[in-house]
Amino acid sequence: MKTGIIGSGSMGSGIAQVAATAGHEVFLYDNNPDALKRAQAKLEKILARQVEKGRMEKKEAGEILSRISFVDSMYAYENAGLVIEAIVEDQKVKKAVFEQVEDIIPDDCILATNTSSLSIASIASACKNPSRVIGIHFFNPAPLMKLVEIIPAVQTDNKTLKKSEQLIQSWGKTTVVAKDTPGFIVNRVARPFYGEALRILEEGLADAPTIDWAMTEIGGFRMGPFTLMDYIGHDVNYTVTETVFRSFYYDPRYKPSFTQKRLMEAGWLGRKTGRGFYDYREGAQNPGPTKDKKLGEQIVWRILVMLINEAADALYLNIASREDIELAMTQGVNYPKGLLQWADEKGINHCVTTLDRLHAEYLEDRYRCSPLLRRMAREGRRFFENPNRF
């Protein structure tokens, strides 16, 4: 299949690599010639390193590159079967691009957006035939991350959904289907990982190194929230939080942090600028954590119960199936285990009691318990006691 990718940034070029590795003829477009050159050089370097490490034969790397054309016109998509847009997270810009590309592509071409938090229905509305528009959300880096969220809009035809699922699975990816709501599964459910950690920091209960230590050493997460925010970039992470907050009609559960906003305003975006919550400049000394196990366990449980509550609410509101929520969080953001499984292990009653205690303490809606958790506690149920229950 001839596949078009719009946008040659790290996400667009990563998706191009995945598609080309799966045998597709790929046309990577960008309206910035310099960006295209950088993308080509970066892809060549990435594949060369794969060869050096023995993960790929030189011939295979050459074949992958030969299947990617770096183009300066979307008219290269005239015979495409799939076009994926991976440009700036701006709804107006995306809609303008979709309106333009729809006049070029064949009638049976799937038109997908890689947006991480914007409305698929709104983007699809720019098209004369919105039934072939769908969200196909990869995670960065696309060649390494197994999970892809598939998000049909209200206008999306069921054939488009099924064809998209089968196609992305044929690329060696694990797909989950999510309702077209802000943040879909991962960027919605994961918000407390950052938000509650920031709240704990702002309250002065622990500093960033201690919270990161607790979440990795005690919680088993691969990366602490502050290390991860620095890695993602505060411009990106804060913008997603703000988008989800605004899209949910300013629900307090998704409220952004002034602490993170000030870092963004200062230009301390994390690793890419050398400063964030940590100092990455040469010779910089960062403080170590306070390795207090009791404090660490309190930190982990407070963040974890908020994540569990969010996952339970996503299930309650039919955002995705129980299995897809678990897959999304373990394969999309590498959580040590599924949040619903974690809830069963910790005890549903314990989750409800903790959330009620936090709500009574702060009198803030961010700590309101999901109706599903409360109902399950009352009825003595677990998420995985009955496979057909949810």
Which residues are identified as catalytic? 116, 137, 149, 187
The total of other beta-carbon atoms located within 10 Å of residue 198's CB is 24
What is the residue type of 282? E
Helices (H), 273-381: 293-316, 322-327, 339-346, 348-362, 371-379
What distance in Å separates the CA atoms of residue 193 and residue 260, rounded to the nearest whole number? 14
Single-letter amino acid, residue 375? R
Strand partners, 25: 2
Q: Could you give the count of Cα atoms lying within 13 Å of 247 in the half-sphere of its Cβ? A: 20
Count of alpha carbons within 13 angstroms of residue 118, beta-carbon side: 23
CB 188 within 8 A of CB 314: yes
Give CA separation, 158 vs 99, 136, 155, 162, 164, in Å. Answer: 22, 14, 9, 6, 10
Phi-psi region of 137 (alpha: psi -120 to 50; beta: other; left: phi over 0): beta
Contact predicate 300/214, CB 8 Å: yes
Angle 235-240-242 (CA atoms, 0-180°, nearest 5)?
Answer: 95
